[in-house]
Structure 1
Amino acid sequence: MKKITLIANFPFPYRVPLFNEVAKRIGAGFGAVYTDPLVPGHDWGTGGLDHPHTFLGTEEISSRSFGIALLLVKHLRRTRPETVVIYGATLPMLAAFAWAVVTRRKRIYFTDSWGYSYSRLSPFRKMLRFFIFRGLHRYIVIGTNGRQHLIDHGIDPKNIEMVRIPLPPNSVESAPQKAYDLIFAGRFISAKMPLFFLEIVRELSKELPIKAVMAGSGPLESEIKDYINKHHLSVDLPGYISREELMKLYTTSKILLFPTEDDVWGMSAQEALNCGTPVVATPFCGIINDLLIDGHNGFILPPDPNLWIEKIKLLLQSPELYKSFSQNARASQSSFSLTSESEKFSKFISGN
């Protein structure tokens, strides 16, 4: 029985179903090791794990801790897997990589990085990835931009597998009468540009009766409330809500605005598309020109308020165009499923 260990920092909710299915397909030889019990700034729990797993970290010890790296190496020496799948380039991942090189284990890199996110790394972190890329046997990415990023770094395409993030089918039909024109979903931090969202709402409200909702929480919450009150905007703030509640909000909202300074993928955008909600996004997230296609199921625009206002008005005031975008959004993920992606993942990490 081949032993395969997947190492990640945290069991992100949208990846847990995939890993659960992979474990069923591979059998007792598969196990996951998580270096963190939580992700700072998120209220994600660790429920739903139906695969063999081990947590190494504590709230006091982060995934970048030297102590966690030592615990991970000790775990690998004890379990001695034939294949090691690492996610990212934190200190524990580097330790696992080094152990696998020294012991001549098969090494697979699982990444959601792409060209733009890579370009924002420090020279040192780029050097680390350059070194790691050349010491691996196979690579798993989540989208076309990630695949092209590896190819641009000289990786042979036959050693790259693209495994999508499969979301559960949305059982909630899109509401014919929308409660909100615009929705923001994400942390209230500067990188997610919530104040840019409010600026758009403010300008549009001068011409149209805009109703908006901002689902999330974070350090900018007080500033956001002050802005809403100062400019008398019609914006609801439900706070941090469950995924089920968020899906309902997507289906009762016309357009998701996804301004971001840097996002390796864009789960909020993927979730909204899955609900038939068109997306307007900045070109700084990995989902662009992939699941999110400009002029097809949304718009990809630089952070220029005038451009955003123009395209949002076009969608809000053109029922037939909006209907087309919404249908295209819902169809954007019809080519893959939990079954197809877990099968690809399992075969790729199990193969010779």
Structure 2
Amino acid sequence: MPNKIAIITSHPIQYQAPLFRALAAEPDIDVTVFFGSNHGVSAKVDPGFGRTFAWDVPLLEGYRYVFLKNSRPGISVNDWRLDGKELKTYFEQERYDAIVVFGWNKVLFWQAIWWGRRYELPLILRGESNLEHAQAWGVRAAKSVLFPLLFKQFKAFLAIGSLNAGLYRHFGVSEKKVFLAPYCVDNEFFAARAVASVEKARLLRQDLGIQEGDTVFLFMAKLIDRKRPLDLIHANASLNHRRDIHTIIVGDGPLFGECELLGKQSGSANIHLVGFKNQTELPLYYAAADVLVLPSEYETWGLVVNEAMACGLPCIVSDSCGCAPDMIVAGETGYTYPCGDVGSLANAMILLSGNRARMHAMGEAARSQSRNFGIDKTVTALKDALRCVHEG
């Protein structure tokens, strides 16, 4: 009989839906996904992007799911009090072989842990956090007490990368219980659509005044402080003497106006803000770019790097991005630089500009690297974790 799995997560997310479909397609897995919110399914305001939209890719097709009722109707998906009071009934009535909990930062997840333990259902944790994010002394002290107790409730752990695995080991989790289930996107979705967009990408570059042979650096994220888009604009501005270097900014948010103003003040005609683009539009911009830049001051991972590498782009990422130790091989798949150091970012941009043969080789290495972080690897890791749970 197939393993009967319940996944507990906050809401439908464009990156998670392909994984859920892949799990549902496995003959030895019977999966139900429980959501605490329907955020993202219909058009709603996203404060980070500063606009109302719904993702234009299917979020609920190809797998079984349940939307749980909340104690507070209309509660924000970002509110820690988001709960799922019906979990008790589901756990009581269904004999799940494992409960996979996607985090611990909401009441919903603690309810899943509590009722999973109450009905003796094995718990597996898939979190994102690591030890790199600077936090107040009091928070660190609380975690030093809480995390060892929390992690003892789980039979296995699905680590999204090496830094996340390091968190579990730091708080006493046995290496045998940690399985690398890489943070992943639908590589084929992005790669195939980028290839299909080559001619449109050529015309896009032409419309933006980008000459053949110029190097295009791409920023693709919410325009918020944590993502540090201004660092890339400053770096590009410092390279004004290089007319062959361009930056395309894809995204929207509170910093859009500041980014636009800084671009104008820089005197550069090579900084292009194109606004928000939905999922099906993104491959066109990957096809039009040569290098992705992720300057964030904190990312538990940074899935935009997976997307870019799947499309054959080398990446420059700050050392505050959780994906850096796993995805970036210096000089092969991209470069890492100290977060906030605009000079170092500009130097990395220089290293990756002008030599198209080298960029192509690094792009192919990046594409190869992305295959090590595919959905298939995460499916395999979950199966390994299930064996660990049932074999003790």
What TM-score, normalized by structure 2, do the two folds share? 0.80
Which range moved further: 335-344 or 179-188? 335-344
From 249, 270, 292, the counterpart of 1:256: 292
Coordinate RMSD, CA, aligned: 2.7
1:184 match = 219
**Structure 1, 258-267 or 157-166: larger mean CA deviation:** 157-166
* SS of equivalent to 1:289: helix
1:102 lines up with 2:118 in the alignment = yes
Q: Classify 1:74/1:128 alpha carbon distance in 2 versus 1 (closer, same or farther; 3 Å).
A: farther
Q: 1:245 aligns with which of 281, 285, 291?
A: 281
- State the Cα distance separating 1:284 from its structure 2 match: 0.9
Shift in Å, 1:298: 0.8
How far is 1:87 from its partner?
1.0
Distance 1:49 1:167 in 2: 14
Residue correspondence of structure 1 range 164-183 to structure 2 within 5 A: 164=182, 165-169=184-188, 170-171=191-192, 172-173=194-195, 177=212, 181-183=216-218
Contact 1:22 1:343 in 2 (8 A): no
Indicate if the aligned counterparts of 1:12 and 1:44 stay in contact, CA closer than 8 A. Answer: no
1:97-136 aligned at under 5 Å gives the runs 97-117=113-133, 122-123=139-140, 124=142, 127-136=145-154
Instruction: Note the C-alpha offset of 1:290.
Output: 0.6
Are positions 1:266 and 2:283 aligned together? no
Partner of 1:130: helix, strand, or coil?
helix
**8 A contact 2:127–2:158 mirrored in 1:** yes
- Give the stretch that moved more between structures: 235-244 or 263-272: 235-244
Quote the residue 1:282 is aligned against: 318
Alignment check: 8 A CA contact 1:22 1:346 kept = no
Equivalent position of 1:158 in the other structure: 176
- Give the letter for the 1:54 counterpart: V
Q: Is the 8 A contact 1:25 1:346 kept in 2?
A: no
CA 1:52–1:208 in structure 2 vs 1: closer, same or farther (change >3 Å)?
same
Q: Counterpart in 1 of 2:63? A: 51
Equivalence for 2:354: 317
* Closer/same/farther in 2, CA of residues 319 and 24 from structure 1, 3 Å limit: closer
Which whole-Å CA distance do the structure 2 matches of 1:223 and 1:115 have between them?
Answer: 32
Aligned to 1:85: 100
Match of 1:344 in 2: 381
Q: What residue is the counterpart of 2:239 in the other structure? A: 204
Which deviates more from structure 2 when the two are superposed, residues 124-133 or residues 301-310? 124-133
Mapped partners of 1:110, 1:44: distance in 2: 26
> Alignment partner of 1:54: what SS?
strand
The amino acid of 1:281's aligned partner reads: V
Moved more, 187-196 or 311-320: 311-320
* 217-226 vs 28-37, greater mean Cα deviation: 28-37
The alignment's TM-score, normalised by the length of structure 1, stands at 0.89
- Looking at structure 1, the residues matched to 234 and 282 of structure 2 have their Cα atoms a distance apart, in angstroms, of 23
Mapped contact 2:11–2:35 kept (Cα < 8 A): yes
On the 8 A contact 2:158/2:381 being kept in 1, the answer is: no
Counterpart-to-counterpart distance in 2, 1:264 and 1:275: 22
Report the 3-state secondary structure (helix = DSSP H, G, I; strand = E; otherwise coil) of the residue aligned with 1:154.
coil
Stretch of structure 1 that moved more, 237-246 or 278-287? 237-246
Unaligned runs of 5+ in 2: 41-45, 203-211
What is the DSSP-based 3-state SS (H/G/I as helix, E as strand, rest coil) of the residue aligned with 2:232? helix
- Inter-partner Cα distance in structure 1 for 2:177 and 2:291: 38
Alignment-mate amino acid for residue 73 of structure 1: K
Deviations 1:134-185 (A, max 9, x none): 2211000122222233223221122111122153321234779467621110
